[in-house]
Amino acid sequence: MSDTLTKLTYQTFQQGKNYFGLAHKTLSTRLLNFISPVEQQTKPIPTEVLPKLQQRLDNLLEIDWQDAERGVYPTSLLFDNPWQDFFQYYPVVCLDLFQMWERAKQKRYQDFPPNVETSAYPSYYVQNFHHQTDGYLSDLSANLYDLQVEILFGGTADPMRRRILAPLKEGLKFFADTSTQQVRILDVACGTGRTLKMIRAALPQASLFGTDLSPAYLRKANELLSQIPGELPQLLQANAEELPYLDNYFHAVTSVFLFHELPAGVRQRVIEQCYRVTKPGGVFIICDSIQMSDSPEMEPLMENFHEIYHEPYYKHYMTDDLVERLEKAGFENVKVQVHFMSKYLIAHKPV
């Protein structure tokens, strides 16, 4: 297949995912207004924001294609999607909407059934983030998560995740001639393993590690990662505030979509732990939501996200200075990138 045809196929593939996400949101909103209205105090989105949002989306897809074309990761990764899970669990996602609506209406933000154990987790984690049934603490939640996130981001969650791969490979060049060890990479709050799967595709010889607080999500990650070639990543249940690894152990550490769900003080402790376990000369990469400092024109979308979804720490996150936090922990040469609705901080540990 020619590059032009492959690119056109990729664009069509992504547009299809985007339209699917929009169709689902439109349908669910209409059902909500018809069946169980929930009053939301949201800011109207100015009309001038919409073309800017479309331009951001176009730019994201273009750089995603360019990174694949220049060999940062295989082109096949552009088309990777858990279709079997999506078809299997989409009806469940639709049925689950009724519970989510009722939970939102009654402001039940820490609503868990008796069979879900919550006592072993920090209080900030025991939340129905974005009104999700069982929070992050059940197999049902783990099975629905990737589909729910793709719907939320209009099919762009994976392209946004992939934006960590180019700076990750660039950051590892420091060790190309100085280390005889196999490269070790840790993904903090690895969830269902989507990011680790992408890192494996880009760096097939690396030794991969992942931590998460949720045993259910780790089971889902194990299921996903055991299906791909190469060494199986080592997954551990662990709190990112106290990573169970030696100092200076990893050549690189990544964290995707974690920090907006942490209280301010916890953010700092997690960053300090990531600094501790990163080798001198290593790189730490954060992917998370955009912030006011880099995307003031997107304030209505950020405010709406805070209002519509239960994200109790997002409002503070919007204005938090993550660069200052990284530098306070000891990182230097912090670079910032923005792609679509995500922000990336690439920080280096001094040699």
Q: What is the residue extent of each domain of the chain?
A: 157-348
Could you tell me the CA-to-CA distances from 96 to 36, 64, 90, 92 in Å, in that order?
14, 32, 10, 6
Rounded distance between C-alpha atoms, residue 100 and residue 105, angstroms: 9
Q: How far apart are CA 307 and CA 351, in angstroms?
A: 43
Helix, strand, coil proportions of the chain in percent (round to 5)? 55, 15, 30
Which pLDDT does position 7 carry in this prediction?
84
| Summary mean pLDDT of the chain | 92
Single-letter amino acid, residue 143: N
37 has pLDDT over 70: no
Q: What is the pLDDT of residue 257?
A: 98
Is pLDDT larger for residue 93 or for residue 17? Answer: 93
Q: Say what the pLDDT of residue 179 is.
A: 57
Under 8 Å CB-to-CB from 168, ≥6 apart: which residues? 185, 199, 202, 203, 252, 254, 283, 285
Mean pLDDT, rounded, for 105-117: 93
Question: What pLDDT is recorded for position 214?
Answer: 98
The pLDDT of 210-225, averaged and rounded, is 98
| pLDDT for 89 | 94
**What does 138-168 look like in DSSP terms, one character per residue?**
SHHHHHHHHHHHHHHTTT-HHHHHGGGHHHH
pLDDT digits (tens, 9 = 90+) for 272-283: 999 999 999 999
Percentage, residues of the chain above pLDDT 90: 74
Name the residue among 168, 173, 174 with its Cα closest to residue 351.
174
Q: Rg of the chain over CA atoms, in angstroms?
A: 20
Q: What residues contact residue 106 under an 8 Å CB cut-off, 6+ apart? A: none
Question: Dihedral of CA 260/263/269/273: which sign?
Answer: negative
Residue that wins the pLDDT comparison between 25 and 223: 223
Q: d(Cα 199, Cα 187) in Å, to the nearest integer?
A: 9
pLDDT reported for residue 281: 97
Q: How confident is the model at residue 17 (pLDDT cuts 50, 70, 90)?
A: confident
- Its CATH architecture, for the domain 157-348, is 3-Layer(aba) Sandwich (3.40)
Residue 298 predicted with pLDDT over 90: yes
pLDDT at 33: 63
| Spatial distance between the Cα atoms of 295 and 183, rounded to a whole number of angstroms | 35
The predicted structure's pLDDT at residue 180: 56
Mean pLDDT value across residues 291-318: 92
- Residue 58 — very low, low, confident or very high, per pLDDT cuts 50/70/90? very high
Q: Which of 15-19, 76-80, 89-93, 159-163 has the lowest mean pLDDT?
A: 15-19
- DSSP readout, 203-248? -TTSEEEEEES-HHHHHHHHHHHTTSSSPPPEEEE--GGG--S-TT
Which residues partner with 209 through β-bridges? Answer: 186, 234
Where is average pLDDT lowest: 91-105, 127-141, 167-181? Answer: 167-181
Q: Which H helix or E strand runs over 20? A: helix 3-35
Mean pLDDT value of segment 88-98 = 91
Nearest to 317 by CA among 234, 274, 257: 257
What pLDDT, on the 0 to 100 scale, is given for residue 306?
Answer: 81
Q: Please tell me the predicted confidence (pLDDT) of residue 101.
A: 87
Q: Residue 317's pLDDT is what? A: 98
- The residues, ordered by sequence, that sit 6+ positions from 187 with a Cβ below 8 Å of its Cβ are 195, 196, 199, 208, 209, 210, 211, 253, 254, 255, 256
User: CA-to-CA distance for 273 and 287, rounded, in angstroms?
Assistant: 17
First to last CA, the chain: 45
Pairing of strands 250-256, 278-289: parallel
Nearest one of 199, 164, 173, 195 to 284, comparing CA atoms: 164
Handedness of CA 303, 153, 343, 243 (dihedral sign): positive
Pairwise CA distance, residues 287 & 337, whole Å: 9
pLDDT at residue 173 tops 90: yes
pLDDT at res. 251: 98
Residue 148 reports pLDDT greater than 90: yes
Q: What integer pLDDT is reported at residue 8 of this predicted model?
A: 84
The CB density around residue 182, as the number of other CB atoms within 10 Å, is 10
Question: Is the per-residue pLDDT at 40 higher than 60?
Answer: no
CA–chain centroid gap for 304, Å, is 19
pLDDT of residue 36: 55
Instruction: Give the residue with greater pLDDT, 21 vs 52.
Output: 52
